[in-house]
């Protein structure tokens, strides 16, 4: 390996980035199928925005690997630094801006490099997108800075609280379905957890029990939890039975309701028949006496 001439290489990189930023598309086409550096945020390991509470600190780590072509002796160092959206010139290269944060570089023959960035005692002003940027001049790599980013939100903490939760005991028949809903609020955003008889069974707002059996009978509750606290709902009893059981007063109420519905129908039918017989009597021109007798008999 040749000795790494740092001063000369730094000067060349600065000149190339300053002169060549307006012709990136032509340069990339000329480089053909060259390799791209692929930095990766290793801590915190998450794809969604990181929710930081005011006064907290956050350590962000980034790592990149480089494949060394052993047939090529004149290797170049890996440069890594941090940018945010305050100054977009930061993404052009390590010498194209005045606020490239924590600029570091590796030895010429190094095949990897890691860097760290710390947000200490966060304030609202620290809400931003932070990017780890990596760059190398090795001939088999595209000469363009590559990035890995993380969004950081900063707010005051509150909660967690449960805004919707199960509150009543339930009874269901074997083979049917049961859906229970639990929704929480807070910052950082809480995760919803479901418990049966004290054991964690699921995370997520909706607990769906399909084709239930007697083994689903038990005590259920949900909880909203973040890294600071947890709030739990009250416990409900879910009972699974072979058939629904009605209390005695429910059965009596059903019988009385049926009777009250049938009696008016019977009385109405009797009145209609009485009227029809009277009309028939007069239509046949029978004697008034017989009609009177029939009427008295019907009464």
Say if residue 202 is in the same domain as residue 291.
no
Say if residue 229 is in the same domain as residue 265.
no
Instruction: Let me know: does 54 contact 155? Beta carbons within 8 Å.
Output: yes
What is the C-alpha to C-alpha distance for residues 56 and 53, in angstroms, rounded to an integer?
6
* Helix axis angle, 248-283 to 288-298, nearest 10°: 170
> Average of pLDDT values for 66-76?
83
Q: Which pLDDT band holds residue 27 (cuts at 50, 70, 90)?
A: very low
**Residue 44 resides in a domain:** yes
**Residue 50 resides in a domain:** yes
**Residue 251 resides in a domain:** no
Taking 50 as the threshold, does the pLDDT of residue 2 lie above it? no
**Residue 246 resides in a domain:** no
Say if residue 83 is in the same domain as residue 167.
no
Token pair 């009464």 is found at 299
Strand partners, 161: 185
Q: Which pLDDT band holds residue 57 (cuts at 50, 70, 90)?
A: very high
Say if residue 54 is in the same domain as residue 105.
yes
Count Cβ atoms within 10 A of the Cβ of residue 78 and give its class: 0-12 exposed, 13-18 middle, 19 or more buried. buried
The residue segments making up the domain with residue 278 are 259-298
Say if residue 190 is in the same domain as residue 109.
no
What is the C-alpha to C-alpha distance for residues 202 and 216, in angstroms, rounded to an integer?
14
Q: Does this model's pTM top 0.75?
A: no
CATH value at residue 112:
2.60.40.10
Say if residue 52 is in the same domain as residue 29.
yes
- pLDDT tens readout for residues 141-172: 988 899 999 999 999 999 999 999 999 999 99
The total of structural domains in the chain comes to: 3
Taking 70 as the threshold, does the pLDDT of residue 75 lie above it? yes
Say if residue 106 is in the same domain as residue 12.
yes
**Residue 1 resides in a domain:** no
- pLDDT tens readout for residues 160-219: 999 999 999 999 999 999 999 999 999 999 999 999 999 999 999 999 999 999 999 999
Domain termination site, one of 155, 173, 189: 155
Say if residue 72 is in the same domain as residue 167.
no
Say if residue 229 is in the same domain as residue 274.
no
Taking 80 as the threshold, does the pLDDT of residue 50 lie above it? yes
Q: What is the dihedral of CA 211, 213, 215, 221, to 10 degrees?
A: 60
Report DSSP letters for 5-52, one per residue. Answer: -HHHHHHHHHHHHHHHGGGHHHHHHHT-SPBPP--EEEES--SSPEEE
């Amino acid at each position: 390996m040749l000795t790494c001439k740092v001063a000369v290489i730094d000067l060349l990189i600065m000149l190339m980035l300053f002169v060549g930023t307006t012709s990136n598309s032509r340069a990339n086409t000329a480089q053909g199928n060259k390799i791209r550096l692929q930095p990766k945020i290793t801590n915190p390991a998450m794809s969604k925005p990181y929710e930081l509470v005011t006064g907290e600190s956050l350590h962000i780590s980034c790592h990149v690997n480089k494949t060394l072509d052993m047939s090529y002796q004149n290797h170049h160092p890996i440069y890594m630094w941090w940018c945010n959206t305050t100054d977009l010139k930061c993404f052009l290269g390590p010498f194209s801006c005045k606020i490239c944060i924590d600029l570091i570089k590796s030895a010429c023959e190094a095949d990897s490099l890691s860097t760290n960035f710390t947000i200490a005692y966060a304030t609202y002003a620290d809400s931003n997108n932070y990017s780890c940027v990596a760059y190398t001049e090795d001939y088999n790599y595209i000469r363009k800075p590559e990035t890995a980013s993380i969004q950081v939100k900063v707010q005051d903490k509150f909660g967690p609280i449960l805004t919707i939760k199960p509150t009543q005991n339930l009874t269901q028949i074997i083979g049917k379905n049961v859906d229970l809903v639990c929704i929480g609020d807070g910052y950082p955003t809480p995760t919803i957890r479901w418990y049966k008889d004290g054991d964690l069974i699921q995370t997520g707002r909706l607990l769906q029990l399909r084709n239930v059996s007697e083994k689903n009978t038990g005590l259920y509750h949900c909880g909203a939890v973040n890294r600071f606290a947890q709030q739990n709902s009250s416990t409900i009893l879910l009972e699974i039975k072979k058939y629904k059981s009605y209390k005695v007063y429910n059965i009596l109420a059903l019988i009385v309701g049926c009777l009250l519905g049938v009696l008016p129908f019977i009385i109405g039918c009797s009145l209609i028949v009485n009227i029809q017989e009277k009309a028939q009597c007069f239509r046949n021109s029978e004697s008034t006496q017989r009609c009177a007798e029939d009427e008295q008999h019907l009464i």
